[in-house]
Amino acid sequence: MIEVKGLKKKFNELTVLNGIDIVVERGQVLAIIGPSGSGKSTFLRCLNFLEQPDAGLIEIGEATLNVENYTTKEVQQLRQQTAMVFQNYNLFRNKTVLQNVTEALIVAKKIPKAEAEATGLELLTKVGLKEKAGNYPATLSGGQQQRVSIARALAVNPHAILFDEPTSSLDPELVAEVLQVIKSIADQQTTMIIITHEMDFAREVADHVIFMADGNIVEQGPPESLFGNPQQARTKQFLKQLG
Ligand code: ADP
Ligand code: MG
């Protein structure tokens, strides 16, 4: 499971995270919604130390890290618990689809190439892209590239997958295929945190939804209540303006 307590982050004088607490049980999906600039990406990036938080406690799977007193080994352990899927896929342009998926297995986990490739092909089958294994990313649509990056995230068998607006860069007609793949993974009890602007999707897939604004959790709850019966004026306003 994931537990974060009192996570704080400033960029110079700008407070971006004001003491964030979350709990995500194993196999559950947490969706984070909120206006642009509210600190959602920073929060996710702090969970794997892509950004260094200023204060707080982070527990993910096997790893526990006190932000104010930690070792590099603990950071390493923390990073091994999650894989991230970014808005812009971040695939290696000069590697094939299969090489993108197997890279971490071969290089970081030292798994023999043949075994890594078998795993890679299995995962590409899961995201519907087995026949693209030998292609380079540039020859794929955005939706296909994002499905590759999801297969790549799954490859390291992380405790949790962190998605930062996984469909925001996609042409509208490509959004559904990516959401479909994420949903199928969620249905297999993968622990996930997803930042998304796709409210229908969050409603359908999330077990719990957090609404963030200005570095604070303004409101949270099960999707039925957060979307169906929001309590805070700020939440109501945000949801209304999305239409
Ligand atoms: P969101 O993902 O909710 O849109 P972000 O976490 O990206 O919000 O950003 C929150 C705030 O932190 C914004 O005001 C943004 O400009 C600022 N910010 C994000 N990253 C940096 C950075 N590396 N340096 C300085 N300010 C940053
Ligand atoms: Mg963001």
Q: How far is the CA of 44 from the centre of ligand 2 (A)?
A: 9
Ligand nearest to the CA of 51: 1
This prediction has a pTM of 0.96
235 confidence band (pLDDT: 50, 70, 90):
very high
Name the nearest CA neighbour of 147 among 131, 159, 158: 131
Output the pLDDT for position 17: 98
Task: Quick: pLDDT tens for 93-118.
Answer: 999 999 999 999 999 999 999 999 99
Residues with CB under 6 A from ligand 1: 11, 16, 34, 36-42
What is the Cα 140 distance to its own chain's centre? Answer: 22
Do 201 and 168 form a contact (C-beta atoms < 8 A)?
no
The Cβ of residue 37 has, within 10 Å, a number of other Cβ atoms equal to 12
SS3 114: helix
3 pLDDT higher than 90:
yes
Instruction: Give the amino acid at 171.
Output: D
Output the pLDDT for position 27: 97
* ipTM topping 0.85: yes
d(CA 87, CA 84): 10
Q: How far apart are the first and last CA of the chain?
A: 34
